[in-house]
Structure formats: structure tokens, C-alpha cells
């Protein structure tokens, strides 16, 4: 995924956030100063409390928007984006918009293509949080990656799991659990998700 290098300066970021006044978690500013969060355009619009945690790198493209005031379950929730470990990376391309209460967590790599819409209550993870073997249940499980194409529409309460690739323009129906590789220009749905029809 390519970006034009045009990072917002930390000083400009602080001024803009002072004007916005709310919904951007204060330690996010520290993460920008430490280059763990890289902005490729203006700061994202945060319509719900937005938390960026973790030791890895988060790249946010131009004109992104997190949370939606009229989207339901707006109050007392948050959008959380977490490149959890030092080598983890999350890339969010230009004009990505989320609804409320979205959780994106990478142990390795998650990429979200431009113009993608993400519904309320969506979870995207590139790893198993716990080991499959009962003896190692508290250890980190298998790690993969997630790649979501451009102009994808992800419905409410979707779960996207490790080793998932979703092609451009695809729609993921509400409540789907997605794992595997899927083409462009289709509708996915179900548990586990499968192609329902072509667009």
C-alpha cells in the first residue's frame, strides 16, 4: 500500500486537536511524537472516543473518520486501534470511515484499503489471542495477517479473523465471521462467511 509522504507535524496536530477538543485519547499525541502513529494527511475526524494503543506502528491515511454520532451505541463506547507488539503494523488508507465501537488489533499486519466503510461493533484481528493447546492456553496463538481491499463495506457486528483477504468492492453482511480469501465484487455472509452472490 503506497502513500505520498506528507506527514502532519506534531505541532500542527496539537493545534488541530485543541480546536477539536475531544474524542482523541491524550496518549495518542505522545505516540505521534514517538512516530508510532503516522498521519498521511490531516488528522482523522473522531466522532467517538478514539484510542490508539500498542507498541507497533499505526499509519492513518487522509480524510479518515472514526465513530458516527447517529450510528447507535455512541455514548460510553470507543473505537480502539491496537498494533499490539513492537513489530505490529496497522495501515488504514485514505477515506476509511468506521461506525462506533470498532476494535482493530494486530499482532502482525492489518491493511484496510481506501474508501472502506466499517460498521458498528466490528472486530478485526490478525491473530488468535490464546493458544489452541490446552497446556498453552494463556500463550499467544497463531499469528497471520488481514488485507481488506478498496471500497469494501463491512456490516455491523462482523468479525474478521487472521489470514483473511477481502477483494475490492466486496460487501460483508452483518454478523458474518470471516476467515479465508475472497474475491472482489461479491457479497459475503454467514458463519463462517461464504460468497452469497456476485455484485
| Distance in angstroms (rounded) separating the CA atoms of residues 55 and 89 | 9
Q: State the catalytic residues.
A: 130
Alpha carbon 21 to chain centroid distance? 23
Quick one: three-class SS letters along 69-87? CCCCCCCCCCEEEEECCCC
The answer to whether the CB of 149 falls within 8 A of the CB of 184 is yes
Q: What is the phi/psi pair of residue 17, to 5°?
A: -70, -30
Written as nine digits, the cell of 120 is 458498528
Amino acid at each position: 500500500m503506497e502513500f505520498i509522504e506528507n506527514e502532519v507535524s506534531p505541532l500542527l496536530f496539537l493545534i488541530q486537536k485543541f480546536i477539536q477538543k475531544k474524542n482523541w485519547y491524550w496518549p495518542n499525541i505522545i505516540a505521534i511524537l514517538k512516530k508510532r502513529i503516522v498521519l498521511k494527511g490531516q488528522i482523522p475526524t473522531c466522532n467517538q472516543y478514539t484510542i490508539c494503543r500498542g507498541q507497533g506502528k499505526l499509519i492513518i491515511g487522509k480524510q479518515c473518520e472514526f465513530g458516527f454520532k447517529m450510528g447507535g451505541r455512541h455514548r460510553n463506547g470507543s473505537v480502539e486501534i491496537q498494533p499490539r507488539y513492537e513489530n505490529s503494523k496497522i495501515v488504514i488508507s485514505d477515506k476509511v470511515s468506521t461506525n462506533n465501537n470498532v476494535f482493530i488489533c494486530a499482532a502482525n499486519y492489518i491493511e484496510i484499503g481506501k474508501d472502506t466503510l466499517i460498521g458498528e461493533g466490528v472486530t478485526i484481528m490478525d491473530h488468535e489471542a490464546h493458544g489452541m493447546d490446552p497446556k498453552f492456553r494463556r500463550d499467544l496463538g497463531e499469528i497471520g495477517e488481514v488485507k481488506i481491499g478498496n471500497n469494501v463495506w463491512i456490516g455491523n457486528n462482523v468479525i474478521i479473523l487472521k489470514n483473511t483477504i477481502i477483494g475490492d468492492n466486496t460487501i460483508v453482511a452483518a454478523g458474518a465471521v470471516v476467515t479465508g480469501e475472497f474475491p472482489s465484487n461479491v457479497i459475503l455472509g454467514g458463519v463462517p462467511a461464504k460468497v452469497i452472490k456476485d455484485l
